[in-house]
Amino acid sequence: MQISTPLHRQKTTNSFIDNDITNSINKLKKQKTMNALRNKVQLIGNLGMAPEIKTLQGGKKLAKLSIATHESYKNAKGELVKETQWHNLIAWGKTVDIIEKYLKKGTEVAIDGKLINRNYTDKEGVKRYITEIQVNEVLLIGGNKAQ
């Protein structure tokens, strides 16, 4: 037979509270990790052209560039297949300064960013949709293969 004292009840209650706090903290950590993974893009590839740098009103800078990523695999016949995917990128602020100073056509880079979807109406009045990667970080990889 267990004797229930006020101290015992308090300890049991605190134990439940401690478990609730621990569970809440774990949920927040998991949520923070999952939020960090939302809309995250990381790519390694080569610049397909020299970056296009624009200075907008107010002095804000915009960089537009594209990189190619490459993948190779063997098909059902055992033949080596090479595929290239092209990705349109934009960057703002201090990232543009790095891009402008160091990146040239052919440069191998690693980028970290997020997907941006936007639309516009072209000169013919047709609504166009575009998906770009907004670059947050740029890392130069290996030697410079720039042409």
- Model pLDDT, residue 36: 66
The CB-side HSE value for 90 (13 A sphere, CA atoms) comes to 13
Please tell me whether the overall predicted TM-score, pTM, comes out greater than 0.95 for this model. Answer: no
In whole angstroms, what is the distance from residue 91 CA to residue 83 CA? 26
The full set of domain ranges for the chain reads: 1-38, 41-140
Mean pLDDT, to the nearest integer, of 76-90?
A: 96
Mean pLDDT, to the nearest integer, of 99-120?
A: 95
pLDDT band at residue 11 under the 50/70/90 scheme: very low
In whole angstroms, what is the distance from residue 64 CA to residue 90 CA? 5
Beta pairing class for 108-121 and 80-92: unpaired
Level-2 CATH architecture, domain 41-140: Beta Barrel (2.40)
- Residue 26: alpha-carbon gap to chain centroid: 25
In whole angstroms, what is the distance from residue 30 CA to residue 1 CA? 41
pLDDT band at residue 17 under the 50/70/90 scheme: low
Closest CA to 93 of 123, 59, 51: 59
pLDDT band at residue 26 under the 50/70/90 scheme: confident
